[in-house]
Structure 1
Amino acid sequence: MVEKSENLKQNANHYNDIGGTEVSGWGQRHQQCILLFLCLTIAYSMRSCMGVSLVAMVKHDISLVEHNNTNHTESVIPHNETITDNNGTEISHANTTNKDSSLYISETEYKAAGFFNALMLTPPYPRFGWSKQVQDSVIASFFWGYVVLQIPAGQLAHRFGSTALLSIALLINCIASLGFPLAAHYGGWVLTVIFRIIQGLSQACVIPSLHTALGKWAPLAERARMSAFVHGGSALGTVLGLPITGFIATSPLGWPGIFRFYGVLSGIMGVAIWLFGADNPAKHPKVSPEERMYIEQDLGQQDADAKKKASVPWSRLLRSRGLYAIVIAHTGYTWGNLFLYSEVPSYMSKIMGVNIKANGMLTALPFFVMWLTNFFFSWLADMIIVKKYFSVTITRKLANSLGCVPAALLFIALAYAPNDIYIVETLLVLICAFNIASHVGFQVNHIDISPNFAGIMMSISNFFSNLVGSLAPIVTGLILKSDPANKYLWRQAFFVASGLYFFTNLLYVLFGTAELADWNDPNDSEKNEKKDEENAPMIQKPNVERNGKS
């Protein structure tokens, strides 16, 4: 199509000159990125805190932990709780070796002791006798709600904008999180699961809204850095969430304080997004005319409101090969990521014998390194694209491979690692250091293919990836069912994560693409089709690649 080819040529020439323009400096688009980044950071902190929280919420009969292949064992016994051996004989009715355990007693003792603490504002706080399968169900329940609204959330963000949807999602999370302790205490694990499902339903709106916003604010020459910065909130949220959870759990606030803290934080962020967020440059009151023109011309969104209201070309979108490649890559990444922050705390506790406070810190360290390396990989991807060392498609595949292949190999190494905390922690750090490269691989690929419908595409890939990924804690629970402290069973769980990283990336490399879809602008497509019919005898110019080459 002549007009489409000319537009792409203009864009290609625009990328050559982008480094010298005044609007390449700090602008309102970067302030919007900060808001989106903070939103995702808080969302992931709330999401990832459950694994460590359960260590404080659930009572443990006795935990025998191997240390460096010796016969030394450590007993972790809840405060004032009767412990029995395998024959049912009482062993102890004494205080635990854990100095922080005085904050907690069993749920039965909590009720029997007559504590009239209806709101659970002061210690001691109850602990629950939930099995490993129930705990994994509590973790997975968030994703049951999360996947249900993924595709509708993408459509809502496309129709009504990202700002309102993000604000509402965070405020619902605020209410659900504040009410979570009472739900757990008075409703047991059933109501706990229901509240986590509610949180999952509301957070389903977050990622599609972020991608919808990035589709309106992120020009190609800055796309990897802007998108990686925003999605870096998932790593930093985990970095902050895990140690904060551990410290709060061992403070006088106890495990109820964990959810109250995140509830307040979510409410504040919801109000901030509402006050300072903007769906697109045209709706931002302080964006300069130069910056607005730079963004809108780059993305082909001169009439942003009309584009937002354009109907979604579902039939052509769902036939996109690139979309299915993204879905596959997203699935492997999500499984590995959920395994890292929901199951690794349990691994560190049961296999490595790390207490809850150190557990949060050690589990968070790899995600902190992940957040740091995020900046390097995003800069590298943008530099490769701007200087045209590789096409956008090859760059995305290279980045995704850097994120998945080393992680797959390192998971195998972790499966055979000795019980040495330094070796295990080093392997976890390396896994996360490379893993984040996928954020400038498949994660930003939606915007390459269709800036106008990036949120819709993300909602689809997020739906399927989390539908499968939510099985990670359940599958891990089934693998470890017979003995959660068995190192050889944990090895099987590591193999599953490794295999998914490797094979999903292989399929992405074979079938992925970053070419701009001709259905990205339905209105232009209709005009071009009419022109094609009128000018059928004329010889048309060939299409232009995204890297600017004919």
Structure 2
Amino acid sequence: MMSSIEDLVVTKAEYRQELVEDHQHVPRPKILWGARHTLALLGFLGFAVVYAMRVNLSVAIVAMVKPQPHDNTSDHDGDVCPFPDDYDPDESDNEGGDFDWNGDTQGLVLGSFFYGYAVTNLMGGRAAEYVGPKLVYGMGVLLTSLFTILSPICAEFSAPLFITLRIFEGFTEGVTFPAMSFMLASWVPPNERAKLSSLVYAGAQFGTVVTLTASGWMCDSDFLGGWPSVFYVFGGLGVIWSIAWFCLAYNHPQLHPRISEEEKHYILHYCGNKRTKPVVLPWKAILTSMPVWAAVMGHLGSNWGFYTLLTELPTYLSNIQHFDMKSNGIRSGLPYLCNWLFSIIYSNLMDWLLVTKRLSILAVRKISNIIGIYGPMVGMIAMCFVNCNSVLAMVVLCLAVGMNGAIFSGYMCSHQDLSPNLAGTLMGITNTVATLPGFISPSVTGALTDGNQTLSAWRTVFIIASVIYFICNTFYLVFISADVQPWNDPTPTTKEGEGEGEMVIKIRGTEELVTSTSTVTTQPA
């Protein structure tokens, strides 16, 4: 058995050359549905549940909180929208609940999730690299689901306890994006990332659509007490999803018991240069890398506008456009339906352009960010001029949020482009910084609109978002790269004349570096 060990050993240079040659000749598997597609579907549903538990509060808080008194007359004459002709404040669905929270408190409640979320992004990326993304991602969703189910009890007890619980929800959910980014780097070849990564991350928009739409109906009903039902239902769905995830997901193609040999061979030859063990973080190289900072800025800019609308859109539609609870939920979900549909169509188009070599990977990343961030920037500026035209407001919001779906083929793939080995850590770094808008934006919006639900106050909110969009995306376009960075696969430094015996052992798609004086050992895949 060991007599043929020489057949398994090649020099490192030969192995790298073999990878290049394989990349040029291995076609996509002919099967229409493979193990990587199952993983993408599970990831899609996982992010749908994750975002359901994140955004349900945005609608529920309208039903939970006592409404601020409306002054539709003099103080802001011409700066507030008139109520609809059939609006009856005594019978309106917007009567609200029993919690006497002012604008600042509501901003803190809505933003508290992101205080915990910011803490665990980097830890989630490293944990995925050490213990595997399946466990990290699955436990992140499961624990968030259990906390969500407890939300109504904590809210009834006290606002500080509810805020604390939301911080813990953010803490457990913060690991999900970095863990999935690392997992996709193992499962999805570069030329399929625009399509399959977009499918996975688009689950967030699908979950947002369903949640915002359904939450309005649930809050207006007597089902499970009204607003508490949005926490019980979506938390319960998260628990059910977790069971399916732990039964069907696998960390790496070699570990999947049902993957076809053709698909395994295809994935490993395009993702096979990824180490099976985590590498030591080259912090200096990462923090001085302009492409990394470009990914950080792209993520930060996109999230500011996204979180502004995600947390505050129902409040805007209720207080400015005066939609009732049912129509508020439906209309709040429409922009994210456009986002989801656009991201699916757009990612398939980008996939075709990559496969047919009409565009390079870098061109796809830049074009996607131009559409996905400059487009919403223009939409935010347009929102300053829609005034009380509710139909025009919805059209602009649908176009702005819809075009943002292009980012899943843009900066959201850059982490995997720059460093497949450290994709989870890079997502953790960029998402940590990009989480700042999650709690800053609701606080800023709350401060600007507390007792001042006027068109001019909301214009300020939209202008701030558009300026941040422009600055951050311009930085991304100038400095981003689609090349794997040199620090992706650091090798030990050797003295002159040493290292000639460095070899790679390939066994069923794994690799192990040894020296000519090392004892050759093999490990199962």
TM-score by length of 1: 0.83
Shift of 1:357: 1.1
Q: In the alignment, which residue of structure 2 is the partner of 1:97?
A: 91
User: Distance between the aligned counterparts of 1:390 and 1:380, measured in 2?
Assistant: 11
Shift of 1:439: 1.1
Q: 1:473 to 1:282 in 2, by over 3 A?
A: same
The residue type paired with residue 153 of structure 1 is G
Shift of 1:520: 2.3
The residue type paired with residue 346 of structure 1 is T
Given that 1:245 and 1:258 are in contact with CA atoms closer than 8 Å, whether structure 2 keeps it comes out as yes
Given that 1:68 and 1:420 are in contact with CA atoms closer than 8 Å, whether structure 2 keeps it comes out as no
Q: 1:74 to 1:290 in 2, by over 3 A?
A: same
Q: 1:163 to 1:127 in 2, by over 3 A?
A: same
Instruction: Give secondary structure in 2 for the equivalent of 1:307.
Output: coil
User: Distance between the aligned counterparts of 2:57 and 2:317, measured in 1?
Assistant: 15
Q: In the alignment, which residue of structure 2 is the partner of 1:62?
A: 69
From 121, 126, 148, the counterpart of 1:150 = 121
Instruction: Determine whether 1:245 maps to 2:256.
Output: no
Instruction: Give secondary structure in 2 for the equivalent of 1:127.
Output: coil
Shift of 1:185: 0.7
Instruction: Please show how residues 328-343 of structure 1 align to structure 2 within 5 Å.
Output: 328-343=297-312
From 262, 265, 268, the counterpart of 2:237 = 265
Q: In the alignment, which residue of structure 2 is the partner of 1:6?
A: 17
User: Distance between the aligned counterparts of 2:471 and 2:317, measured in 1?
Assistant: 27
User: Distance between the aligned counterparts of 2:352 and 2:298, measured in 1?
Assistant: 23
Instruction: Please show how residues 394-405 of structure 1 align to structure 2 within 5 Å.
Output: 394-405=363-374
Q: In the alignment, which residue of structure 2 is the partner of 1:90?
A: none
Shift of 1:392: 1.4
**Structure 1, residues 472-501: CA drift from partner, whole Å, max 9, x if none?**
111111222351x21011001000111111
Given that 1:143 and 1:197 are in contact with CA atoms closer than 8 Å, whether structure 2 keeps it comes out as yes
Instruction: Please show how residues 519-534 of structure 1 align to structure 2 within 5 Å.
Output: 519-522=487-490, 525-526=491-492
Q: In the alignment, which residue of structure 1 is the partner of 2:180?
A: 210
From 414, 426, 429, the counterpart of 1:457 = 426
Instruction: Please show how residues 94-133 of structure 1 align to structure 2 within 5 Å.
Output: 96-98=90-92, 127-133=98-104
Q: 1:128 to 1:397 in 2, by over 3 A?
A: same
User: Distance between the aligned counterparts of 1:445 and 1:53, measured in 2?
Assistant: 35
- Residues matched between the structures, number: 483
Instruction: Determine whether 1:441 maps to 2:435.
Output: no
From 441, 444, 452, the counterpart of 1:472 = 441
**Structure 1, residues 188-226: CA drift from partner, whole Å, max 9, x if none?**
210110010010000001111111110111011211110
Instruction: Give secondary structure in 2 for the equivalent of 1:22.
Output: coil
Instruction: Determine whether 1:164 maps to 2:138.
Output: no
Q: In the alignment, which residue of structure 1 is the partner of 2:203?
A: 233
Given that 2:103 and 2:447 are in contact with CA atoms closer than 8 Å, whether structure 1 keeps it comes out as no
Q: 1:526 to 1:156 in 2, by over 3 A?
A: same
User: Distance between the aligned counterparts of 2:195 and 2:460, measured in 1?
Assistant: 36
User: Distance between the aligned counterparts of 2:20 and 2:36, measured in 1?
Assistant: 24
Q: In the alignment, which residue of structure 1 is the partner of 2:153?
A: 182
Shift of 1:394: 2.1
Q: 1:71 to 1:180 in 2, by over 3 A?
A: closer
User: Distance between the aligned counterparts of 2:328 and 2:446, measured in 1?
Assistant: 19
Instruction: Please show how residues 374-385 of structure 1 align to structure 2 within 5 Å.
Output: 374-385=343-354
Shift of 1:22: 2.9
Shift of 1:453: 1.4
User: Distance between the aligned counterparts of 1:271 and 1:429, measured in 2?
Assistant: 34
Q: In the alignment, which residue of structure 1 is the partner of 2:260?
A: 288
Q: In the alignment, which residue of structure 2 is the partner of 1:115?
A: none
User: Distance between the aligned counterparts of 1:364 and 1:393, measured in 2?
Assistant: 32
**Structure 1, residues 228-269: CA drift from partner, whole Å, max 9, x if none?**
000001111110110111111111121111111111111111
The residue type paired with residue 58 of structure 2 is G
User: Distance between the aligned counterparts of 1:132 and 1:369, measured in 2?
Assistant: 29
Q: 1:385 to 1:340 in 2, by over 3 A?
A: same
Shift of 1:318: 2.9
Q: In the alignment, which residue of structure 1 is the partner of 2:510?
A: none
Q: In the alignment, which residue of structure 2 is the partner of 1:357?
A: 326
Given that 1:220 and 1:298 are in contact with CA atoms closer than 8 Å, whether structure 2 keeps it comes out as yes
The residue type paired with residue 36 of structure 2 is R
Percent identity over the alignment is 30
Shift of 1:68: 9.7
Given that 2:94 and 2:324 are in contact with CA atoms closer than 8 Å, whether structure 1 keeps it comes out as no
Shift of 1:398: 1.1
The residue type paired with residue 268 of structure 2 is E
From 18, 37, 60, the counterpart of 1:30 = 37
Instruction: Give secondary structure in 2 for the equivalent of 1:343.
Output: helix
The residue type paired with residue 399 of structure 1 is S
Instruction: Determine whether 1:320 maps to 2:314.
Output: no
The residue type paired with residue 290 of structure 1 is E
User: Distance between the aligned counterparts of 1:234 and 1:373, measured in 2?
Assistant: 13
Alignment RMSD, CA only?
2.5
Given that 1:215 and 1:453 are in contact with CA atoms closer than 8 Å, whether structure 2 keeps it comes out as no
Given that 1:307 and 1:521 are in contact with CA atoms closer than 8 Å, whether structure 2 keeps it comes out as no
User: Distance between the aligned counterparts of 2:83 and 2:47, measured in 1?
Assistant: 44
User: Distance between the aligned counterparts of 1:440 and 1:397, measured in 2?
Assistant: 9
Q: 1:320 to 1:160 in 2, by over 3 A?
A: same
The residue type paired with residue 130 of structure 1 is W
Given that 1:3 and 1:528 are in contact with CA atoms closer than 8 Å, whether structure 2 keeps it comes out as no
The residue type paired with residue 521 of structure 1 is D
Given that 2:103 and 2:451 are in contact with CA atoms closer than 8 Å, whether structure 1 keeps it comes out as no
Shift of 1:50: 1.2
User: Distance between the aligned counterparts of 1:272 and 1:43, measured in 2?
Assistant: 15
The runs of 5 or more residues in structure 1 that have no matched partner are 78-95, 105-125, 536-550
TM-score by length of 2: 0.86
Q: 1:70 to 1:339 in 2, by over 3 A?
A: closer
Q: 1:394 to 1:154 in 2, by over 3 A?
A: same
Shift of 1:380: 2.3
Q: In the alignment, which residue of structure 2 is the partner of 1:48?
A: 55
Q: In the alignment, which residue of structure 2 is the partner of 1:513?
A: 481
Instruction: Please show how residues 401-412 of structure 1 align to structure 2 within 5 Å.
Output: 401-412=370-381
The farther-off stretch of 311-320 and 210-219 is 311-320
Shift of 1:395: 1.7
Instruction: Give secondary structure in 1 for the equivalent of 2:276.
Output: helix
Instruction: Determine whether 1:388 maps to 2:357.
Output: yes
Shift of 1:184: 0.7
Given that 1:157 and 1:212 are in contact with CA atoms closer than 8 Å, whether structure 2 keeps it comes out as yes
Q: In the alignment, which residue of structure 1 is the partner of 2:463?
A: 495
Shift of 1:470: 2.5
User: Distance between the aligned counterparts of 1:355 and 1:431, measured in 2?
Assistant: 23
The runs of 5 or more residues in structure 2 that have no matched partner are 1-11, 73-77, 502-525
**Structure 1, residues 359-415: CA drift from partner, whole Å, max 9, x if none?**
010010111011111112212222222222232112201111111112111111111
Q: 1:236 to 1:526 in 2, by over 3 A?
A: same
